Amino acid sequence: MELPHVNIRAVIFDVYGTLLEVGPATPDADTRWQHLCHDMLHVEPSLNRLDFSVATSKVIARQHQAARARGIPWPEVQWSSVVTEVLPELAQLPRRGQEEFLFRQIQTGHTTRMTAETAATLRWLSEQPILLGIASNAQAYTLRELEDALAIHGLGMDLFKSGVCFWSFEHGFSKPDPHVFQILTARLAGFRIPPRETLMVGDRLDTDIKPAEAHGWQTWRVGAEADRGLARLRESLSVPQPKTSP
């Protein structure tokens, strides 16, 4: 399946499962969790890693229920408030200490990596007259995970235009809420980029592809077919060519 022959002037990426591959926790995750609590909170962890996960899931479920009762169908939590409710000791750390704890904590639950193919595609796109953005169901630690992964390949967050980046934790709601795509469509209009010249790249039909299509965007679902990787995207993109003087 090819993209339609229309110049693409903006590409908006999902993060997890698209820019970053997500893997399971490392074998030493339980030990790392214990060391994290000792090193940063200076306490013996009251919950093991599994019990901590169960406790935070209950807090998230309660907060989601309350948000839906207020009319937010696709709510997003603030991970820092969730963890602080389960581990009150976190509130005693200064802000940067809290951020470091939360980043190291999430690293005990999963691993992330950016493939060379993804990095090559981002580098190629950065050389084109195309605006790059993000639409991610994310937390603050997501930005650091993405930044660290980009740095391994000699890239930086400056690839992405901050004005067309949507991070769900900053707004209190998440994809597939249509407001996510309405906000980005409005911001792209400020750059005179219409929906038909905007491409959503994601791995999920429900949260990335269908809601983007509902707003008139072009879409590219990573992994939907055997060859639907980001290298294949480079071959399929039609990009606007710089104007040359006669």
User: Confidence band (pLDDT; 50, 70, 90) for 245?
Assistant: very low
If asked whether residues 80 and 202 sit together in one domain, one would say no
Q: Are residues 170 and 209 in the same domain?
A: yes
Is residue 34 located within the same domain as residue 99?
Answer: yes
pLDDT beyond 50 at 246: no
What would the mean pLDDT of 184-202 be, rounded to a whole number? 97
Neighbours of 142 (CB within 10 A): 22
Q: Residue 120 belongs to what H/E stretch?
A: helix 116-126
pLDDT tens-digit readout, 121-175: 999 999 999 999 999 999 999 999 999 999 999 999 999 999 999 999 999 999 9
Return d(Cα 61, Cα 67) in angstroms, integer: 10
Contact 114, 19 (CB under 8 A): yes
Q: What confidence tier does 243 reach under pLDDT thresholds 50, 70, 90? A: low
84 band by pLDDT with thresholds 50, 70 and 90: very high
Residues 117 and 232 placed together within one structural domain of the fold: yes
User: Residue 52: CB partners within 8 Å, gap ≥ 6?
Assistant: 33, 45, 86, 87
Chain mean pLDDT for the chain: 93
Query: Hey, which residues does 13 pair with through a beta bridge?
Result: 134, 201
- By percentage, how much of the chain surpasses pLDDT 90? 86
Which residue, 62, 90, 107, sits at the end of a domain? 107
If one counts the domains in the chain, the total is 2
Residue at a domain's end among 64, 83, 107: 107
What domain range includes position 41?
Answer: 29-107
Which tens digit of pLDDT belongs to each residue from 22-37? 999 999 999 999 999 9
Classify residue 128 as left (phi > 0), alpha (psi -120 to 50) or beta: beta
For 46-75, what is the mean pLDDT?
A: 97
Q: Does residue 39 sit in the same domain as residue 67?
A: yes
Q: Could you tell me if 43 and 139 lie in one domain? A: no
- Distance between CA atoms of 169 and 142, rounded to whole angstroms? 10
Write 50-53 long-range contacts (CB < 8 A, 24+): 52/86, 52/87, 53/109
pLDDT at 103 over 50: yes
